Structure 1
Amino acid sequence: MAPTTLPAPRPTLEDGGRRLFAWLRHMRDEHPVHEDEHGVFHVYRHADVLAVCADAGVFSSELHRLRPHSRALTEQILSVTDPPVHRTLRRLVSRAFTPRTIAELEPRITALAGQLLDGIEGEEFDLVEDFAYPLPVIVIAELLGVPAQDRTLFRSWSKRMLSMQVEDPTDLQFGDDAGEEYHRLVREPMQAMHAYLLGHVEDRRKNPGEDLISRLVAAEAGGERLTDRQIAEFGGLLLMAGHISTSLMLANTALCLQDSPQAAARARADRTLIPAVIEEVMRLRPPITVTARVTTRETEIARHAVPAGRMVLASVLSANHDERIFCDPERFDPGREPAQQMAFGHGIHYCLGAPLARLEGRIALEALLDRFADLHITPGARLRHHREGLFGVQNLPLTVRRA
């Protein structure tokens, strides 16, 4: 099937997403499955995104299939493995990263949120810099058992990796022949992060404690245990993906509530509504907007033929705005009827960190509403949006009135 020509290029997020939402609606109606000039298939409707995420046998998460000789993505990383390896990794990780472990973090997250807000002086601050970034990264660092003061190091790694721009998403030059830019922006910080975490894993084998790395070292199921590299890979995934997505979620929550004063007033008056607010933020503005798969054989998506060995980019953002599932999808409505929003994924790769993100979101919003009688974006503030693939801002200057 030849690539189709689109009527207009994909809009950026500079207007907050309004033009992009309209473009995605057009794609769902007219081009629900679109092959681009690179041979990548983009999927836009909720039912089709759900189907792609649900079928690991046809839609593989092992992205190195596109470059069989590449080495960086052939490690046993939870997010880019298929069964049976994925099943084994997830079972072992779940022995340590349990719902109880997450629930027990609530008092510490509450205390940290209060301490961060205590450090804010005056009537203006940047929500991302002063609260939305440090809160989740400190929580995850303490959970893992690594020094929270190293968060400047973590941020330097994530900033470099997120700055990498790839025109052709199939151009995964992860081997030794990768370009200089890839080595500088992605491979070097990844290697530094893994070396850092491996050092902590090796230490816990000698000096176990109560932290998550120690629990991962001790995790056992059916006589199998995690290797040092697997533990470091999971720690890196949790550290990078966890703090980036939660930071974006917290800033997106402030943006959504500013756009919907009535919802903000209801949440302020009735804190039991806050979990629904967080869920609706994740639907309307999912921090991670796409999920990538590779076809293992020739298949069809919505009656569109897709050859074997092709990348499929399923649009989580578009699925979450599909009017076939969500009534008036561009409206922020925490009271809408429950439906399956896709921000945390679906199928075997459903996000293990979703309960932690929801917990952090609830506590953070409660803390902000308790501390400030009013908060709004500082007039004239210039917001810097993240690149395509992430939905959110890098800064969010707020003007507040204390309670």
Structure 2
Amino acid sequence: MTTALDRDLPPDVADLPALLDWLALLRADAPVWRDRYGMHHVTRAADVELVLRDTATFSSDFSAVMPEARQMSKGMLTRLDPPEHGALRHLVSRSFTPKRVAGLEPRIRELTRSMLPPAPASFDLVDALAFPLPVTVIAEMLGLPAADRGRFRQWADGLFSMQVDDPKEAMNDPTIRDAMGEITGYLGDWCRTRRAAPTDDLISALVTTEVDGRVLDDEEAANFSMLLLFAGHITTTLLLGNAVRVLDAHPGAWETLRADPSAIPGTIEEVLRLRPPFPLTARATTRDVDIAGTTVPARSVVMTWLLSATHDPDAHPEPERFDPTRTGIGGGAQTAFGHGIHFCLGAPLARLEARVALEEMTARYAGLTVGEGEQRPYTGRVLGTRRLPVVAT
């Protein structure tokens, strides 16, 4: 009989039940598993946290493994190690402080109320709210025209849908290079515009503020802007869709939130635990290292499964049970937003957008259920759907 360990690649994230079964088997029998391309998959929560915390051994800079990634990683916060990472993160962290993020709530609430259809109605949640809300907010923060959000969605759908047989060859794929070139070309134009005439927005800050005694060049600023644009909206887009799907799967959950909106933050944390928007992240080893009894050679790619960590019973008892009181406000021990120095910079914003959206939806709709129609789940490295037909009463 063929078992999950006989596979040479993971199940696709679009088949979540199969993927969760496979991850559970790996946690029990092969916590560090090598796929057909030589990448090592780490699945236990304690090991995932170890990898993400030890930046000296597990690097975010892949240039030693994939030299072609060096140019495309310039200014890309998620692909930098200390000390460059700290300096660049500090540059924009002031825009994501709790106080600054909290100040965005009136605008987020205004947008949410204007985008939600009246009840009763059937609509696509992603089209109506889950995409336009966060992309409008991050575009305003960056200083980009919200009128271009159709272009942003086309780019995001394209990038997050692209797959190559060997992920280590991704930077050599002409389709990926061309797509990223189009995006950074657009953002590079805005960087040059803001450098010539700065305003009060994130792109202006990127091109005018000194980092380690110098300012970012247009290529670095465009790459950083791309990261902020896409990470700044896709996380909330996926989170809102996942929240509605989880609530729909648990009878009475919607009514509970209507009766007690104070339960919404805990519910968001539980949705993040059950369905983290980004189920895995990668690192490159700088030396031979032992993980759970397995020696991983230097210059290897390590895939750390956040989804597996959030479903690990050693970290979360009865992990498949939906329990909004489990983690509490702030996430507790769940690692959906990562861990260590690369913990998601925009996590407070995503949590705020999700909270406001659920507050407004539960106040407006007596019920919201997933309707008939194609959901178009993403494949690859993001967990969620491009479409989500719903029925509001």
Q: TM-score, normalised by structure 1?
A: 0.90
What is the alpha-carbon distance in structure 2 between the residues aligned to residue 54 and residue 376 of structure 1?
39
Deviation at 1:84, TM superposition (A): 1.7
Is 1:157 aligned to 2:155, yes or no? Answer: yes
Residue deviations 1:112-151 (CA, integer Å, cap 9, x gap): 0011114x68620011111111111111111111100101
What is the alpha-carbon distance in structure 2 between the residues aligned to residue 224 and residue 96 of structure 1?
20
Q: What SS does the aligned partner of 1:261 have?
A: coil
Deviation at 1:233, TM superposition (A): 1.8
Q: What SS does the aligned partner of 1:42 have?
A: strand
Q: Is the 8 A contact 2:96 2:348 kept in 1?
A: no
Residue deviations 1:299-330 (CA, integer Å, cap 9, x gap): 11111100000000000000000000101111
Structure 1 runs (4+) greater than 6 angstroms displaced: none
CA RMSD of aligned residues (A): 2.1
337, 348, 351: which is aligned to 1:344?
337
* Correspondence for 1:100: 99
Deviation at 1:266, TM superposition (A): 2.0
Deviation at 1:29, TM superposition (A): 0.5
188, 200, 204: which is aligned to 2:178?
188
359, 380, 386: which is aligned to 1:394?
386
Q: What SS does the aligned partner of 1:293 have?
A: strand
Is 1:109 aligned to 2:108, yes or no? Answer: yes
* Correspondence for 2:17: 18
* Correspondence for 2:358: 365
* Correspondence for 1:306: 296
Q: What SS does the aligned partner of 2:63 have?
A: helix
Paired AA for residue 124 in structure 2: D
Q: Does the C-alpha gap of structure 1 residues 141 and 69 become closer, same or farther in structure 2, counting only changes over 3 Å?
A: closer
What is the alpha-carbon distance in structure 2 between the residues aligned to residue 149 and residue 5 of structure 1?
46
Q: Is the 8 A contact 2:282 2:303 kept in 1?
A: yes
What is the alpha-carbon distance in structure 1 between the residues aligned to residue 76 and residue 14 of structure 2?
33
* Correspondence for 1:382: 374
Deviation at 1:167, TM superposition (A): 2.1
What is the alpha-carbon distance in structure 1 between the residues aligned to residue 124 and residue 228 of structure 2?
24
Q: Does the C-alpha gap of structure 1 residues 20 and 142 become closer, same or farther in structure 2, counting only changes over 3 Å?
A: same
Q: What SS does the aligned partner of 2:116 have?
A: helix
Paired AA for residue 344 in structure 1: F
Q: Is the 8 A contact 2:284 2:302 kept in 1?
A: yes
264, 275, 278: which is aligned to 2:265?
275
* Correspondence for 1:294: 284
Is 1:85 aligned to 2:95, yes or no? Answer: no
Residue deviations 1:174-199 (CA, integer Å, cap 9, x gap): 3xxx3xxx323x22221222122222
Q: Is the 8 A contact 1:89 1:226 kept in 2?
A: no
Deviation at 1:14, TM superposition (A): 5.3
Spell out the pairing of 1:1-400 with structure 2 (5 A cutoff).
6-7=5-6, 10-12=10-12, 17-118=16-117, 123-172=121-170, 174=171, 178=172, 182-184=173-175, 186-220=176-210, 223-337=213-327, 339-378=332-371, 380-400=372-392
Task: Give ranges in structure 1 of 5+ residues lacking alignment.
Answer: none
Q: Is the 8 A contact 1:76 1:85 kept in 2?
A: no
Q: Is the 8 A contact 1:383 1:393 kept in 2?
A: yes
Deviation at 1:5, TM superposition (A): 8.3
What is the alpha-carbon distance in structure 1 between the residues aligned to residue 243 and residue 333 of structure 2?
19
What is the alpha-carbon distance in structure 1 between the residues aligned to residue 68 and residue 146 of structure 2?
37
Q: Is the 8 A contact 2:64 2:299 kept in 1?
A: yes
Deviation at 1:93, TM superposition (A): 2.3
Deviation at 1:100, TM superposition (A): 3.0
Q: Is the 8 A contact 2:11 2:18 kept in 1?
A: yes
Q: Does the C-alpha gap of structure 1 residues 5 and 310 become closer, same or farther in structure 2, counting only changes over 3 Å?
A: farther
What is the alpha-carbon distance in structure 2 between the residues aligned to residue 346 and residue 307 of structure 1?
23
Paired AA for residue 382 in structure 2: L
Task: Give ranges in structure 2 of 5+ residues lacking alignment.
Answer: none
What is the alpha-carbon distance in structure 2 between the residues aligned to residue 200 and residue 121 of structure 1?
40
Q: Is the 8 A contact 1:96 1:215 kept in 2?
A: no
State percent identity of aligned pairs.
Answer: 45
Deviation at 1:10, TM superposition (A): 3.9
Q: Does the C-alpha gap of structure 1 residues 109 and 390 become closer, same or farther in structure 2, counting only changes over 3 Å?
A: same
Deviation at 1:394, TM superposition (A): 1.5
What is the alpha-carbon distance in structure 2 between the residues aligned to residue 159 and residue 305 of structure 1?
37
What is the alpha-carbon distance in structure 2 between the residues aligned to residue 360 and residue 159 of structure 1?
21
Q: Is the 8 A contact 1:92 1:226 kept in 2?
A: no
Q: Does the C-alpha gap of structure 1 residues 70 and 245 become closer, same or farther in structure 2, counting only changes over 3 Å?
A: closer
What is the alpha-carbon distance in structure 2 between the residues aligned to residue 295 and residue 328 of structure 1?
32
Q: Is the 8 A contact 2:119 2:365 kept in 1?
A: no
Deviation at 1:13, TM superposition (A): 5.0
What is the alpha-carbon distance in structure 1 between the residues aligned to residue 158 and residue 213 of structure 2?
39
